[in-house]
Amino acid sequence: MPKSAEELQKEMDALKDQNQEPNPEETPLEGVEVDDGVEIDETPDEAPPPEESPERPINQESVEKKINKITFEKHEEIRKREALEKELQEVKEKLTSLSADEEKIEIPPVPDTFDPDYQVKLQARDAALSKAAEVRAKKKLQEERELAIQQQHLLDEQAKAQKLVEAMYSSADKLGVSAEELKQADETVAKYVRDPSLAQYILGVENSPLVVKYLANSAEALEKIQSMNAVQATAYIVQTVLPEAEKLKPELTETPEPIDIPGGKPSSEPPNEFLDGVEFE
């Protein structure tokens, strides 16, 4: 049956509605498949987790070189100390020998002038007195030598230690350690570090105020050092203490230093001929 004009009009309207393009503002794009088969998803990707900065690896070769250097210096100090002790021992042995020789010398009494052997006995007495005086002079020289060696060694050690202490305290402020804080830390560490050579090593390391500060606040580190000999302790300090003490170093600011402007009135500049007669309000 042929359709009426009204029915045909309705069918045409329906076809128009089917062919009408969708409004992009009203149609969500999430999950919609397009012609090329790619699925559009407007959900923002999650930011990847920040990569953790890997810890800086320890330069084992550098550490070993430091340990070898310290060990060499330690053995050199031991060699010098042993040489000094040997020299002192030789002096003491010489003194002992001279004392024995002095005891063996018998000084005869003054002979009687009427003794027929007066001249012979007098010469023997004079020879004994001369021998005793010679031995006493040698003993005095050896005693002075012994005292001089001991005093010089003591002065050298004191001067070396004093120089290291002054250098440590002078650098403390730059590393953010006050003089009072360093003094208290120094007293704490001194109770555990008994070996003079180890104490001098700690005083002489780079950033020594930070090392002393770290040790004073680490009972575990101090107890370990106390239980070690000097060579073992220096190796432990290089491998463990120095890297930890380095972390105490204050961060340096990149703010430039303020410009130093000298006071007083600025020097007068020559007049500008183009501004002659111009008045500024």
For 234-275, the three-class secondary structure string (H helix, E strand, C coil) is HHHHHHHHHHHHHCCCCCCCCCCCCCCCCCCCCCCCCCCHHH
Domain count, the chain: 1
Q: Is residue 41 a contact partner of residue 164, using CB atoms and an 8 Å limit?
A: no
Q: Is residue 163 domain-resident?
A: yes
pLDDT by 10s per residue, the chain, length 281: 455 556 656 666 665 555 554 454 444 444 444 444 444 444 545 555 555 545 556 677 777 777 777 778 768 777 877 887 888 899 999 999 999 999 999 999 999 999 999 999 999 999 999 999 999 999 999 999 999 888 888 887 888 889 889 999 999 999 999 999 999 999 999 999 989 889 989 999 989 999 999 999 999 999 999 999 999 999 999 999 999 999 998 875 555 555 555 555 444 444 444 334 545 44
- pTM confidence score: 0.47
The boundaries of the domain holding residue 198 are: 60-246
Q: Is residue 166 domain-resident?
A: yes
Q: Is residue 11 domain-resident?
A: no
- Which are the contacts of 203, defined by CB distance < 8 A and separation ≥ 6? 161, 164, 165, 167, 168
Q: Is residue 261 domain-resident?
A: no
Q: Looking at residue 48, what DSSP letter applies?
A: P
